[in-house]
Amino acid sequence: MKKVCVVFGTRPEAIKMAPVVKELERSPWFEPRVVVTAQHREMLDQVLELFNITPHHDLDIMRFEQTLFDITARVLTGLGAVFASEKPDAVLVHGDTSTTFAGSLAAYYLQIPVGHVEAGLRTGNKYSPFPEEMNRHLTGVLTDVHLAPTAGARANLLAEGVDDARIYVTGNTVIDALLDTAARPFRFMDPELAQTEEPGRRMLLVTTHRRENLGAPLAGVYRALKRILDRHSDTLVVFPVHKNPAVRRVVEQELGGRERVILTEPLPYLEFVNLMKQAALVLTDSGGLQEEAPSLGKPVLVLRDTTERPEAVDAGTVRLVGTDEEAVFQTADELLSSPEAYRRMAEAVNPYGDGQGARRTVQGLAHYMGLAPRGTDFETSKT
């Protein structure tokens, strides 16, 4: 059995790595060791609880209003010590957070092979999203085996000169997590959230957190939401507010105490997935939501100027609107006013995965390490 340290630290990494941890546990080749940096604390713990994962190591690095320097330095030092004692045969990191980059660097310093899950996403803009574009790019340079979710991600890696033999196209493991969670029994216990099930209501599900949107861009988005609520009396906003105090300040200022706006703490994934099912529209700057909502047939307005996830934009269910107040208002207003425009966007499409992402990820790693035959890649329309 080969020992693999599976490293993650934030909510989305945990959601997307949970199926990989389970698959490694089931596999005949690997003994997983779960190492969390806890770059997020409460938001990470919610996911660990849902998927019943007990970390072998917890660095517990989160600090109130931490900086990029804090995270990177603490993760690098902490993981260096864990890897030196565990001596794993490989390290798996995920995506594009500072945990991802510092984790791959720590493994490299100890000459441990690195597998990068959700490899190859790019906007081509160094500062958008910031610092995620550089985190994933730098991680890619340090990576030995690239687990790319889509054919488009593989194409990005090939364009940067990565050897095709080191790339496996897996499908995104977020769809594994989503399908598993969406199939679980659920009822809203919170009476406020249960309102979203009332007939005649149209619910707008909103999340925001990107560093480049903090301040004025977010204020513009929230003003657009208020105008939408004024224009459409059947609408209701549900907004689970990210724990980042810089997000909370603007949300409170613009939306606090407002009628038909439900501001909540970050929700457990099970509750959140069920809210997505109820939503008429999703407005978000999140990466993961751009992948999940299309498979539930929910139109997504992306509150960003760039996206590293073009597949659902090409399929027509995701629209890149940015953060300009007028653009957000006009786009949402059109979708809420025109059943035809709405119907065109509400097609369920699944360019990101089929629920087999974790299986292909583990098989790809096993093949790369000489333990198993090469499996079949996940196919997508975008090449």
How does strand 318-320 pair with strand 145-148?
unpaired
Q: Which of 118, 292, 308, 311 is catalytic?
A: 118
Integer CA distances (angstroms), 315 to 73, 204, 291, 298, 301, in order: 40, 21, 12, 13, 14
Minimum distance, C-beta of residue 274 to ligand UDP, in the bound complex (Å): 11
Q: What is the DSSP letter of 320?
A: E
Residues in contact with ligand UDP by the rule CB under 6 A? 11-12, 15, 174, 207, 209, 240, 266-267, 269, 272, 286-289, 292
Does the annotation count 57 as an active-site position? no
Minimum distance, C-beta of residue 359 to ligand UDP, in the bound complex (Å): 19
Minimum distance, C-beta of residue 247 to ligand UD1, in the bound complex (Å): 7
Which amino acid, residue 115? G
Question: Got the DSSP string for 108-151?
Answer: HHTT--EEEETTT---S-TTSSTTHHHHHHHHHHH-SEEEESSH
From the list ligand UD1, ligand UDP, none, pick the one residue 240 interacts with, judged by a Cβ distance below 5 to 8 Å according to partner type: ligand UDP
From the list ligand UD1, ligand UDP, none, pick the one residue 39 interacts with, judged by a Cβ distance below 5 to 8 Å according to partner type: ligand UD1
Minimum distance, C-beta of residue 370 to ligand UDP, in the bound complex (Å): 33
Does the annotation count 209 as an active-site position? yes
Burial letters for 361-370: b for 16+ Cβ neighbours within 10 Å, e otherwise? bbbbbbbbbe
Structure tokens at 70: 């804090």
Residues in contact with ligand UD1 by the rule CB under 6 A? 10-12, 39-43, 62-66, 68, 71, 96-98, 131-132, 209, 243-245
From the list ligand UDP, ligand UD1, none, pick the one residue 69 interacts with, judged by a Cβ distance below 5 to 8 Å according to partner type: none
Q: Which of 166, 202, 211, 248 is catalytic?
A: 211
Q: Which of 23, 96, 176, 285 is catalytic?
A: 96
Does the annotation count 212 as an active-site position? no
Structure tokens at 177: 């997590």
Does the annotation count 259 as an active-site position? no
Distance in angstroms (rounded) separating the CA atoms of residues 166 and 171: 16
Q: Which element (helix H / strand E) includes 230?
A: helix 216-231
Does the annotation count 132 as an active-site position? yes
Question: Cα Rg for the chain, rounded, in angstroms?
Answer: 20
Distance in angstroms (rounded) separating the CA atoms of residues 125 and 231: 36
From the list ligand UD1, ligand UDP, none, pick the one residue 88 interacts with, judged by a Cβ distance below 5 to 8 Å according to partner type: none
From the list ligand UDP, ligand UD1, none, pick the one residue 206 interacts with, judged by a Cβ distance below 5 to 8 Å according to partner type: none
Q: Which of 94, 116, 209, 304 is catalytic?
A: 209
Residues that are catalytic: 96, 118, 132, 209, 211, 242
